[in-house]
Each structure stands twice: as C-alpha cells, then as structure tokens.
Copies of this chain bind each other. A is one copy, B any other.
C-alpha cells in the first residue's frame, strides 16, 4: 500500500480539483490560456474569491500564471487532468445504472 505521506501529497492535488468553481475554471482553461478577467467574468463571485481559487490550483501545480501588462494570464499546466473527468463520468454513469437496477429490483 502507498504510504500516508505519499497519500497526503496525492490528496492535496486531488483536493485542489474538489470544488465546483475550480473544476469549471479547469474546464475553461482546457480551450487555452485565459486572462484573469475572462475567468472572473464567468462567475458571479467576488474577484478575490476567484483569485483564491486560482491560487489553490496554482499551488497544486495544476495551473500556472504569468503577467502581461495589466493582465494576469492563467494556463492549464497539466492537460491530463481532463483524464479525471472521463473517470468521473464513468462513476456517475455507474451510479445511475445501479440506481436503476435498484428501482427495478427493490
């Protein structure tokens, strides 16, 4: 079995993705780099809230940022995070399927 320390490192990365807003940000960045203001305007949340979500993603190594004049550009650093979504979809589909089995075989 993996060590607790290894599990802590892994879970810190997974935890960074474990929030709907951060998931939507990652989804947004899949189509390429975005300015902070573009990301921010996709939500009805305070800009400081978005800034902190981006910091969480950055500290996990999932996104990176660079300054460009006034603006801050954010970029998806590890494209494979989209692999997560494939499996998450599989879990959701499996859940639906099993619930149906339950309904038909109570």
Task: Classify the interface of chain A: helix, strand, loop or mixed.
Answer: helix
Number of chain A residues whose Cβ lies closer than 8 Å to a Cβ of chain B: 41
**Is residue A98 contacting chain B, with contact meaning CB distance below 8 A?**
yes
Chain A residues close to B by CB (< 8 Å) = 1-2, 4, 7-11, 13-15, 17-24, 27-28, 42, 60-62, 77-78, 80-81, 83-88, 90-92, 94-95, 98
User: Which B-chain residue is minimally distant from A7 (CB atoms)?
Assistant: B20
Known: A78-B91, A83-B87, A87-B83. A23 touches B10 (CB 8 A): yes
Which residues does chain B contribute within 8 Å of A17, judged by CB atoms?
11, 14, 18
The reply to whether B14 and A27 contact each other, CB–CB distance below 8 Å, is: no
